[in-house]
Amino acid sequence: MKYPSLPLKITALAVLTASALFAADANPSQAVKRELDTNGLFLNYMDFEGGWKKVAQDVQLALKDTPMGGKDIVALAEASGLSQIRALGMSSTSLKGGYDNRIFLYTPGGRKGLFAVFPGEPAPFDGARYASADADFFLEMRLDAPAVINAITEITTSITGNKEAATMALDLLRKDPNGIGSLLDFSGRLVITARLHSKEEMEKVKAELSSKPPVDIFARAEKGGVALANVLAKVSAWTREESGKRVIFTTNEDNSDAVIIIEGETITAGLPRAFVEECLTRKTGLAQNPTFKQALAETAQKGQAAIYITPHALTELRGLVSSSSSLLTGMRMAGLGRARQRSQFANQLLNAMPLPTQPEISVLVARPDGLLIRARSVQSLKASLPAFSLLTPDLLGQIIRVGAIAYAEVGAEERAAEAIHKKISPDLDQVRTVAGKYFAAHPDEAAVNLSTLRETMPEEKLPALDDVEGEIDFSRQTDLIIFDLKGGRSIRHVFKLAPEQRKTIEATLKQIAEASVEYMLAGNSYVSISSLVEYGYMPKPETLVGEDYDQVTLDLNTPTLTVRTPGEQEVSYTRDPNIVMQARRRQAERQIAIEQNLAKIDAVAQEFLQVNPDESSVSYEQLAQKELLTDIKSVAGEDYAQELSSISKNQEKLSISTKRIGTVTWVRPVDEATQTDLTKRLSEIERKAAQYFAKNPKAEVVISGELLPAPVVKASKPTEAETLEMAEEIEKKLPDLTTLVIRRGYKSLKVTLENGQEIEVPRSKAK
């Protein structure tokens, strides 16, 4: 007998395969039912008949005259894999305690686009060997990241029309110095498993508000280890150690026992560390659990992805969603509306599902001509039929078509309105200029409309503006007007800021920047425009065109201050790098100026009291009323009349408080004779100290009071009473010289007077 040659066999096999695929495509119903249970209690089949491609073509046609007209919607549907779906089938069969649910997406042209994410042939779920027998959650999947990246690149290209840019972005990411780009080439298995703690322990954690999660977690990925090790090595929160071929990273954060173990390209992570080590060395676990084995037997023993979850975990998930929904419902914070609605919807959806009595499992199996999802669930697919019906080209596709047509119509109206706006923009700017003249002539008017301008200023010959419906109101302090066109469209017109307007706003921002720095240097932690005004750092900033200075960020770490107008125009001012030093200098200059004012006030007051010996004191207000003080001006908001209500003869100091720099004190300088006396006393102390240390070689310190001579007074033969009085006056004016601590190695003795003046005598040689 003569057997066919090998080439003939291969040709025959190819013909048979092509014929089978053609037959399946010719009858997609049979291809779909091949993967379903046709004898179950529920069977559904939907043939899309190339509907998604037709939807994409219709949308492309509807958008041709819009800004989206250049986007390739048909290519987008192809790249995503959506247009490849020829049919969808579902079936449900009763099982003990649940249902065997099956969903099959039929793609006769093969799995392309995002459907290519699951690579290779179906394989056993060997990752179950890492999970504990009492695991509450298990996930295993094999992913092909390059397939996803290619699909995303094609999708991006269909939207942007620029494949080179998308390719360049991917190349840059792949060349990332940290090695993150290598994750784009991930093609392998990912395993995640978790075990919840006991109900009692979970309740305890909730009651104590502990940050330590009541769950053991294990995760393992077969790619990206080298890249992740490079990243973690640069993060201070992780500590690196080595054990054989393993590189182990542990976190330094409190209450955390997380660990990441890298062995070659494989990444293992989780918490606590003991649980992770247990999973890596486990001999028996979930893979030997009869319940898990039964679940796989009732779905699929092999596949590209599987997810397994116990009733315990589902109950906790339901409680968590319910708690978050209740929490969000009770909160009245702005911006939580959508989050609250989503949480409530999820809560209602979970509550509508019956609680399972056995674990739920779903397995995804990638076929050459589609994707099969097998699931053992507490609920039949009957309940999901309305949702799946929504996803068909006939219903959802029609919604998309109508949406595209509506978008195109609205876009056409918007473009027409924008064309009119562009045409009348010069006329609007002309009217605004005339409105400015009107405001200049009427300083009390805050707004004016177009009709009033025509009536009061006919000489300006304002444009007709026939396309405008109704009045246009112009406000003194805004760069924005909003009005309606006769077609019904509302127009926002922004008057561009003139250079001089920008300079004015920049000057205000500069003033705010300088004042805020001074305010912070004064020891204040929080700065705002109102606090700057209240404490006298600056007058209240006047808005020019409606800009809101209260929204300006005044943090010292923000170098640029920016303010926005109602028309969303931005004006910015960048702080001088030396602004802090400049602020310190200004503070010092203000303090000196206030001290000089106080010195002038004292001089005038002492002269007045000398001329009027019967007066024991005089106030600033009295001196001002007598026009003896005419050149005293407030420097930092200080109120001399309020605080200097009594200045007495030979008063040693004057003080005044300011909101900006605190209390400023002027101290009367000591006279020359007193300085001489003080120097003599300090010199005498120094000589006695030198002699003391020479006579006492073991002594390391001496107190000036032990050495202090009697006070030195002016040599003018005063009486004993006068001498005592003068000595007391000297002691009042001068620092206490009895408490100086003098060490053996001193170089000089120095005292500082209250007015800041220093007197110093060098060390002498002991005699």
* Residues in contact with 105: Cβ distance below 8 Å, sequence separation at least 6, in sequence order: 85, 88, 115, 370, 371
Whether the pLDDT of residue 331 is over 70: the answer is no
* Residues in contact with 481: Cβ distance below 8 Å, sequence separation at least 6, in sequence order: 428, 432, 472, 473, 474, 475, 492, 493, 495
Residues 627 and 611 in one domain: yes
Residues 489 and 512 in one domain: no
Residues 562 and 471 in one domain: no
Assigned domain for 684 exists? yes
Assigned domain for 689 exists? yes
Q: Give pLDDT tens digits for 683-708.
A: 999 999 999 999 999 999 999 888 87
Q: How many domains does the chain have?
A: 5
* Lowest-confidence segment of 29-33, 41-45, 308-312, 706-710 by average pLDDT: 706-710
Residues 586 and 567 in one domain: no
Structure tokens at 251: 């976190």
Residues 204 and 265 in one domain: yes
Q: Give pLDDT tens digits for 334-373.
A: 444 555 555 555 555 555 566 778 899 999 999 999 999 9
What whole-number distance in Å separates Cα of residue 477 and Cα of residue 494? 13
Structure tokens at 170: 């991917």
Residues 623 and 645 in one domain: yes
Assigned domain for 124 exists? no
Rounded mean pLDDT, 123-151: 89
Whether the pLDDT of residue 401 is over 90: the answer is no
Assigned domain for 546 exists? yes
DSSP per residue, 319-347: HHHHHHHHHHHH---TT-HHHHHHHHHHH
Residues 655 and 741 in one domain: no
pLDDT at 116: 80
What whole-number distance in Å separates Cα of residue 62 and Cα of residue 56? 10
Assigned domain for 462 exists? yes
Of all residues in the chain, the percent with pLDDT exceeding 90 is 35
Residues 205 and 260 in one domain: yes
* Residues in contact with 670: Cβ distance below 8 Å, sequence separation at least 6, in sequence order: 678, 733, 734, 753, 755, 757
Assigned domain for 520 exists? yes
* Residues in contact with 194: Cβ distance below 8 Å, sequence separation at least 6, in sequence order: 135, 136, 137, 215, 216, 217, 218, 313
What whole-number distance in Å separates Cα of residue 682 and Cα of residue 689? 10
Q: State which of 556, 575, 594 marks the end of a domain.
A: 575
Residues 189 and 203 in one domain: yes
pLDDT at 402: 73
Which CA distances in Å does 381 have to 18, 91, 94? 33, 7, 11
Q: How confident is residue 143, by pLDDT bands cut at 50, 70 and 90?
A: confident
What whole-number distance in Å separates Cα of residue 401 and Cα of residue 256? 52
Residues 518 and 639 in one domain: no
Residues 536 and 483 in one domain: no
Q: Give pLDDT tens digits for 611-650.
A: 998 989 999 999 989 888 888 998 888 889 899 999 998 8
pLDDT at 424: 92
pLDDT at 318: 74
Assigned domain for 626 exists? yes
CA-based Rg of the chain, rounded to a whole angstrom? Answer: 43
Residues 277 and 145 in one domain: yes
Q: State which of 494, 519, 549 marks the end of a domain.
A: 494
Domain membership of residue 600 as a residue range = 582-667
Q: What is the DSSP letter of 479?
A: S
Q: State which of 667, 699, 731 marks the end of a domain.
A: 667
Assigned domain for 389 exists? no
pLDDT at 7: 43
Across the chain, mean pLDDT equals 81
Number of H helices, E strands in the chain: 22, 30
